[in-house]
Amino acid sequence: MHIRDIVRRDRTTFSFEFFPPKTDTGWDALVERISDFETLGPSFVSVTYGAGGSTRDRTHDLVVELRARGRLDPIPHLTCVGHREPDVQAILERYAIAGVSNILALRGDMPRSPDYDAAADDFRYAVDLVTFIRRFNGRGGHPDHRGFGIGVAGFPEGHPETPNRLTQMDHLKAKVDAGADYVCTQMFFDNRTYHDWAEQCEIRGIDVPLVAGIMPITSISGMRRMAELAGGTNFPARLQKRIYQIQDDPDAVARVGIHWATEQCWDLIERGVAGIHFYTLNQSAATMQIFQTLGAKNSEALRGTT
């Protein structure tokens, strides 16, 4: 389903992110957990794409498998770093043939290989990829006359490579003006930061739906890993205090992290957020607990509260 038909302003959507496992064992484990996620009835799911296209085939294979199962609507991530225009053209054609309706267009992390030559890329920024996808749509390359729906990333706590917040907002505005249909945010743990950022978006005329990214903390090591994955992520002192007070009890740490994420969700729902996107790390337990605590067995029941 086209993202314009999924993410609307009159009710909150709920969605999940998966990553394609690198091993067959991890793949089999994810396929088993997908049944849990299916019971939650998300509006859509997204599938990540490794740096420089390192998981290109596995991303495609997971997206196709999810479509074949028929109960989850997958949105593949597509990064443009390390890609030439013919590469991206071929990827888009492949997804269009598979019936994929939407793409999350990202710049992606810079490859760490000493052989990487940025000058050889046809795309420097995500806005270039958005523009390219729009041109693909305009040439009638997709069976839906609207072409691919396009999502882009937003950074309520800032992007580590662009410390100037005004410049960051310029970049987001440019992506939306180039044709993005919605914005999905990086994870955050302080809703005040998100609400302030959302207000800035409104001031700047960024008028597409904003989908808030939530990742429940389930361990201290996981929290540290989050800090590495999303440079600049702020963990409020109140949250850190709760976690470090019970750091020797892993189950208690998970309970605190899940409770914190649940409170974030309640606030976002009450404030009328367009969508909540859970970064699941391919684990279903924490997300299912959040739904249970919110008093809903699935996304449809949750949408009934908005």
Of 106, 15, 95, residue with least CA distance to 59 = 95
| pLDDT value at residue 57 | 85
| pLDDT value at residue 168 | 93
Q: Which domains does the chain have, with CATH numbers?
A: 3-303 (3.20.20.220)
**pLDDT band at residue 235 using 50, 70 and 90 as cut-offs:** very high
pLDDT digits (tens, 9 = 90+) for 110-124: 766 677 766 677 888
DSSP code string of the chain: --HHHH--TTS-EEEEEE---SSHHHHHHHHHHHHHHHHT--SEEEE---GGGTTHHHHHHHHHHHHHHSS--EEEEEE-TT--HHHHHHHHHHHHHTT--EEEEE--PPP--TT--GGG-S-SSHHHHHHHHHHHHHTT-SSSTT--EEEEEE-TT-BTTB--HHHHHHHHHHHHHTT--EEEEEE-S-HHHHHHHHHHHHHTT--S-EEEEE-----HHHHHHHHHHSTT----HHHHHHHHHTTT-HHHHHHHHHHHHHHHHHHHHHTT-SEEEEE-TT--HHHHHHHHHTT-SSHHHHHTT-
The two structure tokens encoding residue 20? 């394609």
Length of the chain: 306
| pLDDT value at residue 10 | 66
pTM of the model: 0.93
Active site residue 300: no
- Using the predicted structure, report yes or no on whether residue 130 has a pLDDT greater than 80: yes
CA distances from 266 to 57, 156, 246, 259, 260 (A): 37, 18, 24, 11, 10
Say which of 17, 38, 199, 300 is annotated catalytic.
Answer: 17
pLDDT digits (tens, 9 = 90+) for 11-44: 899 999 999 998 999 999 998 899 999 999 999 9
Cβ–Cβ under 8 Å, residues 221 and 247: no
| pLDDT value at residue 305 | 59
